[in-house]
Amino acid sequence: MAGNVEAPAPVGARPERDPKARGGARIWEETEQQAKKLRSASDAEQHRKLPKRKIVLLMGYSGKGYHGMQRNVGSSQFKTIEDDLVSALVRSGCIPENHGEDMRKMSFQRCARTDKGVSAAGQVVSLKVWLIDDILEKINGHLPPHIRILGLKRVTGGFNSKNKCDARTYLYMLPTFAFAHKDHDVQDESYRLSADTLRRVNALLACYKGTHNFHNFTSQKGPREASARRYILDMFCEEPFVREGMEFAVIKVKGQSFMTHQIRKMVGLVVAVIKGYAPESLLERSWGEAKVDVPKAPGLGLVLERVHFDKYNQRFGNDGLHEPLDWTQEEAGVAAFKEQHIYPTIISTERQERSMARWLGTLPVHDFDATAHAAAGLGAKASTETLLPARLGLQTGARG
């Protein structure tokens, strides 16, 4: 018996493995890898059999906490709406993973590039996807509740949601104490908008209709740049309503296209006039070549409500192959999304952060001619630098 006892292995020595066991593990790993490859190949083959078609998605989202709509590939510091959308498209099996890394591969295009904190109830994006079963449910299943796909329609192969868009409608929701006159109205939540003040607000908003030079309503646009001229189809303020003890109103504006901060400055200037901080004449002066420092209202209340495709609908909406992009059947879902996710966010954020109240506090010291003074200062400096050597030259000549 003693001769059959095995000597203990030295401390630290690695025990030998049974060659058969090693081979079995290797075979199992190889089999598992082959199975994964087969499953992957099967999935790829299944997707290849699916039709890949150009579609548009009708989107609603609350923009709070996001740095705008457009994705910044390679930058994880600033989260955007498209980051969550692309992730949901990949995870739901609508697009391959490499299309998520390079959105051009799916011909992705957004209709409007909303800014930081701006929401949407009717954003439209165009892209090519695999038309899987229950596609809307599967995409929404991978999205947070404050981002929803509200509709889907097939479009022509060359459709581009940005280029085919004829007009865009935005709304701006604000507490009505923004219209309280600085000298003889209360400046808090107890204020209620009168019929006379609402008429005056709408009279000023109507002045924006038509084509004007909006170079003072954005940045980095000169007064003689053709792209600064924009066409506004309509702009008006709806009847006020009360939520949680605070009265709000909604301003709607429809235009062919808008520049960065344009709508917020359009609202800001009207508020400044109504409150008595600026004369009505400043509105017309702001469309001239002179520099005007137009105040910019907060971004919180701005919402992309709807985008319009009238020319596309006229050509393809009744051809028997494509649906018109009017979203009439989705209107109830859009209205419900605004009530559940957009309006409550605007109201609660205004109560917590008081963005409108804090901005209104800057108007008493706002210098509407600040940019004009700055431009004049630069011009005077340039003139001095030009004239001084000339004067020195004259003096030298006189001495000689």
Report, as residue numbers or ranges, the catalytic residues: 115
User: In the numeric block, which tokens belong to residue 313?
Assistant: 């609908």
- Say how far apart CA 325 and CA 152 lie, in whole Å: 10
Range 258-289 burial, b when 16+ CB lie within 10 A, else e: bbebbbbbbbbbbbbbbbebbeeebbeebbee
User: In the numeric block, which tokens belong to residue 40?
Assistant: 């992957």
| Residue 276 Ramachandran class (φ > 0 left, ψ -120 to 50 alpha, else beta) | left
- Say how far apart CA 35 and CA 388 lie, in whole Å: 83
- Say how far apart CA 159 and CA 161 lie, in whole Å: 6
Helix (DSSP H) and strand (DSSP E) numbers for the chain: 12, 10
**Which of 268, 272, 351, 337 lies closest to 302 in space, CA to CA?**
268
- Say how far apart CA 42 and CA 340 lie, in whole Å: 41
- Say how far apart CA 54 and CA 391 lie, in whole Å: 69
